[in-house]
Chains A and B, each alone.
Chain A
Amino acid sequence: NAGVTQTPKFRILKIGQSMTLQCAQDMNHNYMYWYRQDPGMGLKLIYYSVGAGITDKGEVPNGYNVSRSTTEDFPLRLELAAPSQTSVYFCASSPTGGNQPQHFGDGTRLSIL
């Protein structure tokens, strides 16, 4: 019973490099989310998706892109890494939105140097 799986767990990037953070869920959830968590700042929503082929911006989308070609996968892409993107990134899913509990992966710790 995997739930939400994120890869990689850790990554160090140089300024200007690109990378894709992977997220997969096996619960057949319609909604998926990407958050970043900085110390003392709580979780900030980057992008979310309400189903395959549909994505929308959250509170802090600049510098990121997403796609949702299947129900299971929701990758997050950083095109030109900047030091301000150093953070812990969490992917989550829920059956629908509203009051539904979100199920989180264990995060990707990303450092941009």
Chain B
Amino acid sequence: SQKIEQNSEALNIQEGKTATLTCNYTNYSPAYLQWYRQDPGRGPVFLLLIRENEKEKRKERLKVTFDTTLKQSLFHITASQPADSATYLCAPRDYGQNFVFGPGTRLSVLP
């Protein structure tokens, strides 16, 4: 069955550093991969989408990579700020009706 793993349940980094979150998947061949941000007590909010034929996608301080050979996506936040503290979810997507999410990584950016 499909399995989606995110590198760790929690990640602490110092303000100003780059945060790198990992999403690995098995028994799955997604055509796209989405990343969402979730704040406590709120629903997830869409951040970025990357397609299987795109190696990298950027949006302001965010960068996402997608390696279909490694079955992995990396999500980077550069020059991190305390306001970036949240849980980040990856969501691989195929052309069918598979709507799955990873368990999330809780990021804490320490001032």
* A→B interface (CB under 8 Å): 4, 33, 35, 40-43, 45, 48, 50, 56, 58-59, 90, 92, 97-99, 101-107
Contacts and interface: CB of A to CB of B under 8 A. Distances in A.
B102 A98 contact: no
A43 B95 contact: no
A43 B97 contact: no
Given A99-B34, A99-B93, A105-B43, A45 B104 contact: no
Contacts of A35: 101
B21 to A, nearest CB: 14
B-side interface mostly? loop
B93 A104 contact: no
Given A99-B93, A106-B42, A43 B9 contact: no
Contacts of B51: 99
A42 B44 contact: no
B31 A33 contact: no
A54 B2 CA distance: 25
Nearest to A109: B41
B102 A101 contact: no
B32 A101 contact: no
B99 A42 contact: no
Given A98-B93, A99-B31, A42 B9 contact: no
